Amino acid sequence: MRLQVEDGAGIKSEALWYSAPGVAEIRREVLPEPKPEQLAIRALYGAVSRGTERLVFEGRIPETEWQRMRAPFQTGDFPHPVKYGYATVGVVEAGPDEWLDRAVFVLHPHQTLFCVPQDAVVSLPQALSPARAVLAANMETALNAVWDSCAGPADRIAVVGAGVVGMLTAALVNGFPGANVTVIDKIPGRAAKAEAVGLKFCTSQDCSHLAGSCDTVFHASGNPAGLALSMELCGFEGTVMEMSWYGSGDVPVPLGGSFHAQRLTLQSTQVGHVARNRRPRWSHSRRLEAALGLLLDSRFDTLLDEPVAFHDLPSHLPALLNQTGSAVCPLIAYPDANV
């Protein structure tokens, strides 16, 4: 135990809460001392999920999904107020001796200090930087989508949506021998990040040469227009992997035109369950460990945006979550981060 606990004062912590539509705030908390089976984690870095947390911020989680969309260790109930988030990297400050001072990844809301069971924590590979490790949850999503798809070597593959999940998905399939992979986004400013990760990029206004030619298209833009474009890019009997989740409201899906004549497949993929073709052998923890290992490539540092101080998050979130903004992965720097 290395935590300093004042008699009767408990352990002081602060957390980000989504308190009303379009409103976030930092709230102080007092934690009890960790139980014997728990670890106390002091956060170093975190990441904001621009897609999911935008829906939480705006109060757009449909009531039918309030239970399924609960994040691990979430406090509060949808729509508001909720303590939400699922990408935190920190250092173990209290627990068994073999855990002390380890850098770890935890699926936990944005909070400076917290206590969780040991089995909720995954140690970082020694060569993985704590800042880059915040991408682990996104890499899990990308890995699961690739498993769910039929994509393979020598395929022509498009990824529509150059956010962090789209970029990581593209990076994975770009490793297939002979694969021809293109990342597509309506924001030209994302080209530099894509190219720094070794990916070919074009804008959604300049990709007509790919129409009707792709074996697999991963859609990760979170925009119905991106879904329509994905279906246009698919070749005969090709597959669109729908990675976006839209929250409440109706989403138009272009099932007219050539959809049936082209015999297209529109397939969902979601990270809550390990992909069916891996599920008998892969646990969630094994998948998370694999995701961390895949992040050893230092080129992925390019996907991290300039760090935002934890205490500045409430004022920065509207810009960070703006769907038309150029942010890819907003990085949170906690007070103890080495920025």
DSSP secondary structure, 258-317, as one string? TTTTTT-EEEE--TTS--TTTTTT--HHHHHHHHHHHTT-GGGGGGBPPPEEGGGHHHHH
Domain ranges (residues) in the chain: 11-131+304-333, 140-268
* pLDDT tens readout for residues 90-131: 999 999 999 999 999 999 999 999 999 999 999 999 999 999
The hierarchical CATH code for the domain 140-268 is 3.40.50.720
Task: Give the pLDDT of residue 7.
Answer: 54
* pLDDT tens readout for residues 26-71: 999 999 889 999 999 999 999 999 989 999 999 999 999 999 999 9
* pLDDT tens readout for residues 237-259: 999 999 999 988 889 999 998 89
pLDDT band at 334 (very low <50, low <70, confident <90, very high): very high
What stretches of the chain adopt beta strand conformation (E)? 11-20, 23-31, 38-47, 75-76, 82-83, 88-94, 103-106, 113-117, 121-123, 156-160, 180-185, 200-203, 214-219, 234-242, 265-268, 308-309, 331-333
* 11-131+304-333 fold: Quinone Oxidoreductase; Chain A, domain 1 (3.90.180)
* pLDDT tens readout for residues 289-312: 999 999 999 999 999 999 999 999
Rg (alpha carbons) of the chain, rounded to whole number? 20
